[in-house]
Structure 1
């Protein structure tokens, strides 16, 4: 069949449903990315592999460049993934661009470049797609999945036809807040191109408002299992310190290095590098009240006190020992529990509750069960033997060395059988909390683990949540762990959110015990309880995110954000309860690096989505999310990504990236090295990508995509027009140099709409789940890169202040930009970033400062004149 190009309007509906272990969005209606042709599934199948076609196998598309540029500022990240591929085959082939994004990331821009034309996506409301999805399915549109494995992630997939000897380029932008765990921020980048790549380049720019404490690049990780440092897989990344608050990390392995690392990770050299590139860092912070960053009427308060003594805790382990936990699962649970028991502090107290059809509370000191509710599944009705009455509820015991040894023996006695009575188990767990005679001294915490759904007693998860939330009047944090694929993650997430905790997913793998141990480390040292951020009334502070937190753990971080009126920001007081009683902490206020507006929007949307998940009436939170998501171009549970692209693509759905490829009835035959992998750390959020190519042969696919990226804050990239990308640090992507703050204004004006010579109905696939035909043509923006500073750098405001002759006016004087000049360093100046000393240079010659210049007013603060040209006071490099 001859390929024809026609323009179709398509809505890419992203799944934000992923592993509950890292997500906070609702799972009520999983979203899906749908791209459909106007051909039926049958005709599409005939075209791909008809009986009369000779199966010669395609010449797989070649990736000739992959770039991942990430900029980090104020713990907020923006990542631009650029991937370029060429079809070397004499036949047209379908290239599938598939990216695994971090679970908590919002995609905010997508552009495809096909045959020199660029097609830009935009965000719209999700609900409009729901009807169209049903229409697409009922019309018999073909569907296919590109599935690889990755933990705590979502998948974005789109396909496009590439003509013989033609090229395609994909640009994807996403952004997220980086969460702090184990005393560090961690950026995890999955790299699985499926082949050695000549030009593979990763650049991570860090520019924080506070001094950097350290920046590290550990050994590469294999992916789906937790691993330790290994000198054989040292990436040998380059780390350069720009100044005390900024650093640049680069990773550019040649083909020989890629093959060496692939072998060290246990892969095949011919499939190229397949592993995780990790950047770790932390900042110097106020040891007490944290720091408040302010800029342009927005503020964010990061709170991570360090010089505090941990409070004592009462920890109740409520462990599922039903029949489904038998075998490997119960063995891994025992191994993890033994390690966790060894980590308890001597001043802590603990209890062990196991549940199946029966709920048993162990008296650790006697190593016997002294309290039981429910009945054994082996007896019922007639001939039931007499059962010893067990109604003595044992107190939690001190975690002394002797009791830890006895608790280990109790763990060894755990056996898996019976059903799953979750409601009674949690009720009993709350009863055990009541044995705590001094909750102010030992703060109660429940760790609840299950691998399934309720099958005994109350089976309605909504009823279980409402009952436990009502009974938990003391607001005891319940931390839920879902073990394996059988657990109801959405239920456990909602249960924990309603009860002052959070949920994590434990993947059923060889490292499950290590995942459990790592989870416990996050909650092992509570420092404060009942933490409340209180703001001075005359600040006129409003639109504030969450202000009350039940507990703060060492090594983590709390944050709140909002908007304020007035020129002076009065710092809030942080009230909490510490080991010696109530305390009040005062933070320090600093001017932020870069613009905070998008950071505020991200935090607000993320917390609204979390609220939406637990609210019975979801409409208020939904409308609030929708308003902000449309304004800031975030793809969320309630919004969709709409893209205009060439015709002839198959239907594609996004899904939980942790799903096994074997579950999909599609002949993908993906090479193993193309599998997107993810480390076990709860805050390692991977992004990877791959391409698949088809050319008349079913079952022949190739992983060709760019590396993927996880979990960190960053600056505005230079990217194709209106991709909402951002950048920092003199990197370039696809010939698009530059950097900038967080704003999402298009880099230069949109080109006029282009229409097909014969208008035809456009096909829409919305972020919900559907397809709709409309008599309209979408605006296709010509965004060919240029070399002018105003157009191709991430200084979107510059185009608005340029005079017709390319000059700018400052203080009633006119200066040329000198974009084609090379003047080097000029005179010393004192108005660089944070009022430090610098040297005057041309704007385009000081890449490092561009991310700070979020608007014209900010630029004027750092302006200087150099030989008659408009310059900028460029910060001096760190000695």
Structure 2
């Protein structure tokens, strides 16, 4: 049977760099079926609501949104499908989002959605009926102007904008009453590797983020107001459903075509129930066991090589635009002799803000307790907790003896999730080094959080300024952490990032991290190309046993050598790679360009490049490689107006699920809709605390809000047809028996 979102058909379309609108080929004439399947879970189009209506029609299950004092409007329904093809070190993903207008009005829908933090988004298509409009990449402001003009003219249009490297918005204009339109996005990303484990992660929900309020007082000396730490706070906010009142929305189906390039061992997911097919020893086909799932947690897939099949070095190349892109993934030997352990100073920082409510705070506390148990005699430590306040257990570092450890354990056991997420002050306190000249000790910060904040740039800048000899290890907690913050903070802090999605993973994941912290570090790491090359990263991080280094480069021709040198403990380490032996790979050029853009963004934030120079470099790379960035967007505009001039256009933000395991009341306060004095997302309702400026999208509770997820991975439709046929046959037999009865 057909999937509700037939992504495979769209991948056959030719990609052009201009907008097109033409009849679909025969294999794409499936729009009516898609609409029918979506109608099966969405229900019939709702009748138009009177102005100012505060609830949905009884039994309709319609979710109503309103902005400020405007009249509420019904939210479009959304379903999504993800199809991911893994080829060795890279993955190509196609995300199809189906927007269904369940109302009697013309609608513009805006949807906030996450992607992997290293996603190189390079293609978008808008499908309206039998027409396919292929997007162009343009400078952000120009793309926005084209979209707004098309919206005003009544044309079908879609706009994809990056709000953060891992957070995007889709706006779709002029969806007709009862109509379903499809927006398809494609991106390239790298596969992660740690030791012999490879992994791929797909975020499915944009978690609510805490945005610190701008300073309320003016800087009198300069006669100007202090800058807003989150100037785009409205762009990264969306209405969120209370799971106690509403069933899940935004159902997701998913498939992964895994071609690892080596014989495979285990293939598993700790986050979702999956099915796995094995066409060959090097291939796997993965799907969701239940066919569809709520978009409320990240999907993670891990795989390992069969015994003896693990490659020591991964070297790949791709010819793009007259040059070659090279990707090298090198793992230091795990058999290196361990150096004598050095005493450590470890500062544990734990986030106990409102967004950590529910299972997240239990995961974080359990993780911290595992960390305390791994401390050795001779180590020193401290514990800092924070929400919108902060507190340290001890005035300074203390010895890891029984008395101090017991006091720390009691402190951790009593923590509860509440309040906002003011991360800057505790981070600065943890990085502050009172003994910068001390030798013979390793200084490490282990930071446990979900990263649900909007002021990432301030965090990155603080790390770059104050890291010194400290190494920062980020531990992502919960079902939907902010991967961009976590991974980039660890890179700047020359540490590592560990993700803990479930309580069951705490012991294993923390043990893996702590073993790395105790293992010999690869220091003084350097990479040298024998031929001229534009390589990234320019500054290589410290590495721990089993942690690979990934280097991407662009050069005229992949020839010569790449030499990596460093020290493991006190012994030198050296590896030489011949670039002409690199295997052919796909998407290497996109991966390189995305990494270079990330470096330019970091250089701008940390002051190593002027804003003007960084923006120029980012814009050039984005336009040359067709990538969506902070400065570029994808826009698709149909040529023909479709909305009648007299018809009004209702504008809505599509609601999101609360990430699995989060506590709604701890994040938002007691109830919705929002009222003066009640807590905004992640912020306690404290007397005298200024409210965040501007409007906030609010959810108006519906009479019934549950939307059943479609079980499209089962044979339910076939069984319904068989059941209907059997019922019909039974009725015929009953009628016949009555006719022949005496």
1:101 matched to which residue of 2?
A: 114
TM-aligned CA distance change 1:573 to 1:190, over 3 Å: closer
1:639 to partner: Cα distance: 1.4
TM-aligned CA distance change 1:656 to 1:557, over 3 Å: farther
Query: Secondary structure, in 3 states, of the residue corresponding to 2:335?
Result: coil
Q: Are residue 119 (structure 1) and residue 133 (structure 2) matched?
A: yes
1:351 matched to which residue of 2?
A: 381
1:216 to partner: Cα distance: 0.9
Query: Secondary structure, in 3 states, of the residue corresponding to 1:619?
Result: helix
> Partners in 2 of 1:216 and 1:581 — Cα distance?
36
TM-aligned CA distance change 1:480 to 1:650, over 3 Å: farther
> Partners in 2 of 1:361 and 1:435 — Cα distance?
25
TM-aligned CA distance change 1:252 to 1:584, over 3 Å: closer
Say if 1:80 and 1:171, in contact at 8 Å, map to a contact too: yes
1:562 to partner: Cα distance: 0.9
Query: Secondary structure, in 3 states, of the residue corresponding to 1:610?
Result: helix
Within-5 A mapping of 1:370-769: 403=401, 407-413=405-411, 431=433, 437-439=439-441, 443-448=442-447, 473=468, 475-479=469-473, 499-501=493-495, 518=509, 521-522=512-513, 524-526=515-517, 527-537=520-530, 539-540=531-532, 542-566=533-557, 568-570=559-561, 572-587=562-577, 589=579, 590-595=581-586, 596-615=588-607, 617-645=610-638, 650-651=650-651
Say if 1:72 and 1:78, in contact at 8 Å, map to a contact too: yes
> Which of 77, 81, 105 is residue 95 of structure 2 equivalent to?
81
2:303 matched to which residue of 1?
A: 281
Query: Secondary structure, in 3 states, of the residue corresponding to 1:205?
Result: strand
Query: Secondary structure, in 3 states, of the residue corresponding to 1:635?
Result: coil
> Partners in 2 of 1:248 and 1:482 — Cα distance?
28
1:160 to partner: Cα distance: 5.1
Say if 1:180 and 1:555, in contact at 8 Å, map to a contact too: no
2:43 matched to which residue of 1?
A: none
TM-aligned CA distance change 1:190 to 1:102, over 3 Å: closer
Q: Are residue 185 (structure 1) and residue 178 (structure 2) matched?
A: no
2:158 matched to which residue of 1?
A: none
> Partners in 1 of 2:619 and 2:145 — Cα distance?
19
1:793 matched to which residue of 2?
A: none
Moved more, 407-416 or 574-583: 407-416
Q: Are residue 236 (structure 1) and residue 236 (structure 2) matched?
A: no
Within-5 A mapping of 1:9-48: none
Say if 2:61 and 2:706, in contact at 8 Å, map to a contact too: no
1:543 to partner: Cα distance: 1.4
Within-5 A mapping of 1:285-364: 290-296=313-319, 297-305=324-332, 306-309=334-337, 312=341, 314-319=344-349, 334-343=365-374, 349-354=379-384
Aligned residues: 541
Query: Secondary structure, in 3 states, of the residue corresponding to 1:49?
Result: coil
1:553 to partner: Cα distance: 2.9
> Partners in 1 of 2:426 and 2:705 — Cα distance?
50
After superposition, give the CA deviation of every residue in 1:326-357 in whole Å (9 maximum; x if it has no partner).
9999887554322223345x598342254789
Normalising by structure 2, what TM-score? 0.56
TM-aligned CA distance change 1:707 to 1:575, over 3 Å: farther
> Partners in 2 of 1:421 and 1:86 — Cα distance?
39
1:249 to partner: Cα distance: 0.5
2:171 matched to which residue of 1?
A: 158
Normalising by structure 1, what TM-score? 0.48
> Partners in 2 of 1:51 and 1:406 — Cα distance?
60
Q: Are residue 174 (structure 1) and residue 187 (structure 2) matched?
A: yes
After superposition, give the CA deviation of every residue in 1:695-733 in whole Å (9 maximum; x if it has no partner).
xx988888699999xxxxxxxxxxxxxxxxxxxxxxxxx
> Aligned-residue CA RMSD in angstroms?
6.1
TM-aligned CA distance change 1:78 to 1:101, over 3 Å: farther
2:283 matched to which residue of 1?
A: 247
TM-aligned CA distance change 1:553 to 1:634, over 3 Å: same
Say if 1:318 and 1:425, in contact at 8 Å, map to a contact too: no
1:778 matched to which residue of 2?
A: none
TM-aligned CA distance change 1:352 to 1:77, over 3 Å: same
TM-aligned CA distance change 1:516 to 1:324, over 3 Å: farther
Say if 2:84 and 2:256, in contact at 8 Å, map to a contact too: yes
Q: Are residue 206 (structure 1) and residue 206 (structure 2) matched?
A: no
Give the structure with higher Rg (CA).
1
Say if 1:177 and 1:602, in contact at 8 Å, map to a contact too: no
Say if 2:451 and 2:485, in contact at 8 Å, map to a contact too: no
